[in-house]
Structure 1
Amino acid sequence: MARGTTTLSLLFYAINVLVTTFFVCLSCVALLSQAVRSSTHQSWKQNFNAAIIGGTYAAVAMASIGFCLKRRIAIHRRLQRISKESRTLERGDVPRSVWRYMQQEYARACLVTFEAEPKAAVQQGWGKPGTPYEGVQYRSTLLRTIRDIDKLAHAVIPRHPPLRPHDRMLHHFRFILPLFTKDEEGLTPLHYYDSAVQLVRHSSREPTEAEFIIGMKAVEEITETLEGCRAEMEAGSMTERSESLFTDPDVL
């Protein structure tokens, strides 16, 4: 919007300059022709009036050009004095009235922002106000957990296959599937997590709070299981190291 307004103002300025120049030139030609016709010899030679008219218009043109150049140079110098570094304005940087106006506008903007915040509105795919998931976007939050679980899976199984963008979770985490226990329906937390990820990846609608809770519960169970496996592996490696230290004859 601002760019269009600037272009429009420049266009009007150019049109104004062209129209003014045209009429000034037209008046100059008319006066010169009148001076020639009213002279005794009706010619340009020894025509004092034509010389005065031409000199006057030339002086006006030079003065106008000089005024424009002076204005442009003054604006350029003032712009050069403006600091290019971003800094916070303080009370002494601007007049008191400007400072008071800035404070009033800032307070008004803060008040409008606060009043404009939804109090009881519910947006699809986001946590409801007043709930533990307030301000949480279900889709992006679930998708961010993929890399965290993948990192834990590589910590448990270093040769775990790398993550590919469109792999299903059941296929990608197939090597850690035996680590999870099944429920009454024969499903593991990885099955629920796979369903939640497929929903947020491919569904045209936003996930509901219930679906998000199921997915995050599966994430917690998967994370807890993998963390436990990693802790057992670290404890086992520490035990093996201590046993090797006590049984190694070189150390003894």
Structure 2
Amino acid sequence: MNSHPPPLQSSYLPIYPPRFRQNDKIQQSQQQQQKIRQTKRRKKRFLPTLKGFRSFLYHSSFYLFILIITVLLVASAWGIGEQAIRNSGQRNWNVFVLVAAYVALFYIILRTMPKPYIPTKQIDLPKSVAKHVATEYSRTAVIAHISQATTGQQEGWGRPGTKWEDKHFRTYILSTIPIMKQTLCPIAPSTASPLSLQPLLDAASSINDNGAIRLFVNSYAKIIARARYGRKEPTQADAEAVEKVVEVVLLTLEVKRRRERDMGK
């Protein structure tokens, strides 16, 4: 087989895809416009503005006052030190007091010095940056406010700001059992179980008050049983009910004993 040489490529043949000179002109014009914008921005940076003048005045006055205060402190220390050295009788003591006073002064200044200043206002930042900082600060404040606890209560514990604050209801309810036993039945039967509330019920039944104390003691025994064996934590209502029962029983028995004493006299 005869091999034919490849055809010669002419420089006059069209190129695919074809290139349009109009696109090149558009790109050149865009590049020129971009260069013009960059030069304008550079010129604006070096032009004096009212905002820049305020910022310069603010910072320069700050450093000027620091320099004045430093000069005054050094001058006053120099004058007082010179007088202390001239007083030959108490020279060492005067110098010691002077040094101690200035050390205490600088210590107080360093302790009371505020935290480093964070620029957040338009006087120190561009308007867009200051607006962005203010927006983010407001968003952070809102998130922090929403994330705070609103109820402030844990199950089985008293609410903050009330008389039940930091009190565990179950512990409080069970702690009233010795008081009730001491009030109703000071001498408990030896056969009774330490956990049994039957002596309280028997003592309440023996009181001649038309069964009022018996009703209070029955409700008290139910709350005690829930506090001992219930999975659910007692509520504030249970603690308040126990408190009222104890107060009523103590007051009723105290009044009854006074009447018996008066009748005995």
Please indicate, yes or no, whether the TM-score normalized by the shorter chain is above 0.5. Answer: no
Q: Which has the higher contact order (CA 8 A, sep 6+)?
A: 1
TM interval, shorter chain, is: 0.3 to 0.5
Give the TM-score normalised by structure 1.
0.39
Give the TM-score normalised by structure 2.
0.38
